[in-house]
A and B are shown apart, each in its own frame.
Chain A
Amino acid sequence: MFSRAARSWVLRTTGGGLGTRGTHSPGGSARSQGKMAPYYTNHYAQRSYPMPDEPYCTELTAEQQALKEKEKGSWAQLSQEEKVALYRLQFRESFAEMNRRSSEWKTVMGCVFFFIGLTGLLIWWQRVYVFPEKPVTLTDERKAQQLQRLLDMKSNPVQGLASRWDYERKEWKK
């Protein structure tokens, strides 16, 4: 399941290079599998680059070439199906198709959590097997003595530590 999700993620992010031609969109018999130029010179339309350099289909059948000739005339004479067919010759996906959402975020979040968990395990192992002894100044008794000294010095008496201590009753202010 993970490999399938990973594969679809790789396909989606590379924008469908040479290997993905057969996998998408059944139907659309008017759409021919045109010549595949290298990815870097002829990438498909994206929201940030909506007009690619070359049309999607460059090898046209006779009937598609006839349609292209008809396109040179007035567009009002084209029927709806012909307009859609011309669009599909020019572009691989419509805006709705290219902007469809995907499940990629689930893979991303899964990998993020996995590596956070792995890091947690590594740090736990480190704490058990690598870290040296804690210094004596971190024992509770020593920490209490340090706190008592801070209160004796009246450190930060306006808004800080000593302002929270009630010196008459010798306890923290409520």
Chain B
Amino acid sequence: MASGALAKPQMRGLLARRLRFHIVGAFFVAVGVACACKFGVAEQRKKAYADFYRNDDSMKDFEEMRRAGIFQSTK
């Protein structure tokens, strides 16, 4: 071939470079998704349950349900 101005391309270590790139990337993506799940889902849910049960009066709920007539064992 006539000598052009092209540099010699990378000939070796192509798979190793690709694997390193993807393994590192996959690690960070996995960690990121795990953090998002923990804060977006788990902590939100724990807070919702804590808020609900802080001021919960189960007897009052029971009386309301009984008055609404959903029980078979009592009226």
B75 to chain A, nearest CB (A): 14
Q: B49 contacts the other chain (Cβ, under 8 Å)?
A: yes
B50 to chain A, nearest CB (A): 10
Residues of A within 8 A of B65 (CB): 152-154
B28 to chain A, nearest CB (A): 30
Q: A80 contacts the other chain (Cβ, under 8 Å)?
A: yes
A80 to B45, CA, bound (A): 72
Total contacting residues, chain B, CB less than 8 A: 11
Partner of A158, one of B48, B61, B64: B48
Q: Most chain-A Cβ atoms within 10 A of its Cβ — which of B2, B65, B68, B69?
A: B68
Q: B52 contacts the other chain (Cβ, under 8 Å)?
A: yes
Q: B16 contacts the other chain (Cβ, under 8 Å)?
A: no
Residues of A within 8 A of B64 (CB): 154, 167
Q: Given A80-B2, A152-B65, are A158 and B70 also a contact pair (CB < 8 Å)?
A: no
A122 to B12, CA, bound (A): 56
A86 to chain B, nearest CB (A): 13
A130 to chain B, nearest CB (A): 38
Q: Which residue of chain A is the closest to B67 with respect to CB atoms?
A: A152
Total contacting residues, chain A, CB less than 8 A: 10
SS class, residues of chain B in contact with chain A: helix
Q: Given A149-B70, A153-B65, A154-B65, are A159 and B45 also a contact pair (CB < 8 Å)?
A: yes
A154 to B48, CA, bound (A): 16
Contact B2 A158 (CB under 8 A): no
Q: Among residues 38 to 54 in chain B, which have CB atoms less than 8 Å away from a CB atom of chain A? A: 45, 48-49, 52
A167 to B68, CA, bound (A): 12
Q: A120 contacts the other chain (Cβ, under 8 Å)?
A: no
Q: Which residue of chain A is the closest to B62 with respect to CB atoms?
A: A154
Q: A110 contacts the other chain (Cβ, under 8 Å)?
A: no
* Residues of chain B having any CB pair with chain A under 8 Å: 2, 45, 48-49, 52, 61, 64-65, 68-70
Instruction: Please list 7 pairs of residues, one from A and one from B, whose beta carbons are closer than 8 Å in the complex, sorted by A's number.
Output: A80-B2, A149-B70, A152-B65, A152-B70, A153-B65, A153-B70, A157-B52
With A80-B2, A158-B52 given, name 4 new contacts (CB 8 A): A152-B69, A154-B64, A158-B49, A163-B52
